[in-house]
Structure 1
């Protein structure tokens, strides 16, 4: 994931559509100070949740899927932030670029119809078992809060309100399933997060061998959920049917 040479030492536009919609997240948690900001949309992409994370807590994170001609899916709206090189790299590292996400350059349109080139993050690869997973209520509320703060179009805010969310069950069986699943995978996920920080370079890239381990563990975790845990204790992703790998 290389920074384009022509933009390596100059400010560039970063398109935020997930948790970074909230300026408090961007400036607080990320420690980033945008030079400018604009409400824009990406005509070529729509919002989806194809970045898998942890079943039973945070099953899926925001991603983008390409729109095709005559696609009825609404284009994704967000905020384009003009960032310095240092702040841009900071966003890449804190967002998991190079591990969960990869960077792309695409066209954006502001409310006046003006086009600008932006960089944004999409899922590093299309997982064959990413469909049908819901984001948590906490995560969706964060997106909605950011959309309201940023004054995204009301119609788009209403779309976010209507999105289905993963909600934990109150049943004892489900709680036992959540506990046993996290007993196995919480420590592993902590190791992955520690390894990402340890082995990543200044652009958030990690060695190929680490990516291979990451992909294998992600596949094993969701296989465990879909075919072992969910049939016995109930699903931990908000879905209603098991996706085939």
Structure 2
């Protein structure tokens, strides 16, 4: 009996040792494989120095900008502290002059923004890019209380789906991002490439520098560092019962937590977080997000047909938009309205034609178990945490 007990203890110790390689370890290994600072073999400067303390202190005199007049009214000598998050942390998307926007930050600093949270409620194209990242005002929640509520609701629901607390909504420590100091010309370009000012408005938010530059440090629920203000582009959801504004509004889905982003888009977000050395705790959350995956032939047919119907038109409009934009890249209101009408028609056709015939185009079929975790989703999460390097290498080799 003693021998058997000893063997059981050894087995338990082995299991503990095996489980010690957590998601954080996997993310740490993956992050170390991504070139940082000036070590990039392609000569890319992914990270810049921190902004000067005097520049941060001066932000309390800043004011929000009018996105339609900023480019014409701003001074060439002026710099802007811009809060980026989501895919805009990726060099490929934000700084690369060939594949991205070609922004050249002067300085940067990792921050936590308690007043905002990252959402995925900007509709894209059904079946292909169901949604994109956005920001929304935070709902103040105590972390310990939230954990207790999650456990209680899970027990009461007995394993049924809880869409209101789907996995992508489970980060309750505010928006994590990077504040870039950019020239006025670059900020005007950022505004223009976010849709020529359509749907977005500039706001000022309080940003708290991370207490530690060590990504292994825990992210506090309530940061205590000295805040400063930064600008970000905000596309708020329309409150229930209100009509979208005629100018500057955006398409809005009935359930804003329902859609899942594509694997391509989530890869941009996780790569960007790793390149910017964001906290491993936050990176672990990002790697837990489930991508939209097509699982049936009907869905694939719907994807091809919808793309053939609307994507050429959208690409054509974006191509000719340069002809109608002013010298600063801002589009006229009538062109913004035309783009909005095309996207709205895309989603109306999806709701009333494509979805009834070809099936789900926003969320992986079957990904509706407890907390959004089906067996397929758990396999996806395991691959994301234990085989990150393999997946990233394969994705990189495929372009």
TM-score by structure 1 length?
0.87
Distance in 1 of aligned mates of 2:233 and 2:110: 17
Q: How far does the alpha carbon of each residue in 1:106-145 deviate from its partner, in whole angstroms, 9 at most, with x for none?
A: 1111114121211112225454416222211110111011
What is the TM-score of this pair, normalised by structure 2?
0.55
Q: Look up the match of 2:232.
A: 120
Query: Take 1:68 and 1:207, find their aligned partners in 2: how far apart are those partners?
Result: 35
**Which shows bigger deviation, 216-225 or 84-93?**
84-93
Say which of 342, 346, 352 aligns to 1:217: 342
2:253 maps to 1:129: yes
RMSD over aligned Cα atoms: 2.4
Cα separation, partners in 2 of 1:23 and 1:116, compared to 1, 3 Å: farther
Distance across 1 between alignment mates of 2:200 and 2:294: 26
* Alignment check: 8 A CA contact 1:46 1:67 kept: yes
In structure 2, how many angstroms separate the alpha carbons of the residues matched to 1:46 and 1:222? 25
The 5-angstrom pairing of residues 62-81 of structure 1 reads: 62-70=133-141, 73-81=172-180
Partner SS state of residue 34, structure 1: coil
**Alignment: residue pair count:** 240
Q: Secondary structure at the match of 1:151?
A: coil
Cα shift at 1:176: 1.6
- CA offset digits 1:56-79 (Å, max 9, x no partner): 211111100111333763311011
2:352: which partner in 1? 227
Does the 8 A contact of 1:32 with 1:87 survive in 2?
Answer: yes
SS in 2 for 1:38: strand
Contact 1:177 1:229 in 2 (8 A): yes
Q: Does 1:175 align with 2:300?
A: yes
- Contact 1:46/1:75 (<8 A) preserved: yes
**More displaced 10-residue stretch of structure 1: 22-31 or 218-227:** 22-31
Larger radius of gyration: 2
Q: Which of the numbers 83, 100, 105 marks the counterpart of 1:34? A: 105
Q: Distance in 1 between matches of 2:233 and 2:190?
A: 10
117, 141, 144: which is aligned to 2:270? 144
CA contact (8 A) 1:51 1:100 kept: no
Higher normalized helix content (fraction of residues):
2
Distance 1:199 1:6, change over 3 A: closer
Secondary structure of the residue that 2:70 maps to in structure 1? coil
Change (3 A) 1:105 1:203: farther
Q: Which residue in 2 is equivalent to 1:3?
A: 70
Pick closer, same or farther for the CA change 1:9–1:210 going to 2, 3 Å: same
1:97–1:70 Cα change, 3 Å: farther
Q: Which residue of 1 aligns with 2:289?
A: 163
Other-structure match for 2:127? 56
CA distance in 2, matches of 1:6, 1:213: 28
Q: Distance in 1 between matches of 2:196 and 2:179?
A: 17
Q: What's 1:205 paired with?
A: 330
Alpha-carbon distance in 2 for matches of 1:52, 1:203: 26
Which ranges of structure 2 fall in alignment gaps of 5 or more residues?
1-66, 147-171, 212-224, 236-247, 367-399
Which structure has more strand as a fraction of its residues? 1
Alignment partners' CA distance in 1, 2:227 and 2:328: 27
| Structure-2 change in CA distance of 1:179 and 1:6 (3 Å) | closer
1:90 counterpart = 2:189: yes
